[in-house]
């Protein structure tokens, strides 16, 4: 028997579960800025969905994640923000932001509203 399998079976037999790799936090969800935070003209709530659509305030936009950046297609152009994602906190900086903004996950992503479609990417 291979060593890893034997060790796992031994750990299970004595009531210990082997350590599993940590799962990366997911970007999909409903995110909200704290009530007192200054976001200028930016949205206070953002919903990111697995289909690459996002409700960015009142707009439906397209998003994509590239390493530690999030690209948001707004007005026919990509706006690129630095992204830090930790459990239920999402911090954006750079792009058109003068200071970083932290949003907190308040729930799962809601479906794209009826009649709305995912906009095409600007580079299509």
Class at the top of the CATH hierarchy for domain 22-107: mainly beta
End-to-end Cα separation, the chain, in angstroms = 52
> What confidence score (pLDDT) does residue 2 get?
53
Ranges of each domain in the chain = 22-107
Supply φ then ψ for residue 92, to 5 degrees.
-110, 140
Matching residue, tokens 């152009």? 77
| Mean pLDDT across 6-16 | 45
Q: Strands 53-56 and 101-107, how do they pair?
A: unpaired
On the question of pLDDT at 9 being above 50, the answer is no
Of 90, 91, 60, 92, the residue nearest 74 (C-alpha)? 60
Residue 4: enclosing H or E segment and its boundaries?
A: helix 3-13
| Mean pLDDT across 12-29 | 59
pLDDT digits (tens, 9 = 90+) for 24-55: 568 999 999 887 777 676 778 999 999 999 99
DSSP 8-state secondary structure symbol assigned to residue 2: -
On the question of pLDDT at 92 being above 80, the answer is yes
Beta strands in the chain (DSSP E): 29-33, 45-48, 53-56, 59-66, 69-74, 77-86, 89-93, 101-107
123 or 114, greater pLDDT: 114
């Amino acid at each position: 028997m291979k060593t890893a399998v034997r060790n796992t079976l031994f750990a299970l037999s004595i009531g210990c579960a082997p350590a599993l790799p940590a799962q990366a936090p997911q970007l999909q969800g409903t995110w909200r800025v704290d009530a007192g935070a200054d976001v200028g003209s930016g949205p206070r709530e953002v919903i990111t969905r697995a289909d690459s659509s996002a409700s960015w305030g009142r707009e439906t936009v397209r998003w994509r994640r590239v390493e530690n950046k999030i690209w948001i297609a707004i007005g026919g152009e990509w706006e690129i923000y630095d992204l830090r994602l930790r459990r239920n906190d999402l911090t954006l900086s750079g792009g058109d932001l003068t200071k970083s903004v932290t949003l907190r996950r308040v729930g799962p992503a809601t479906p794209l509203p009826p009649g709305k479609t995912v906009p095409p990417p600007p580079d299509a």
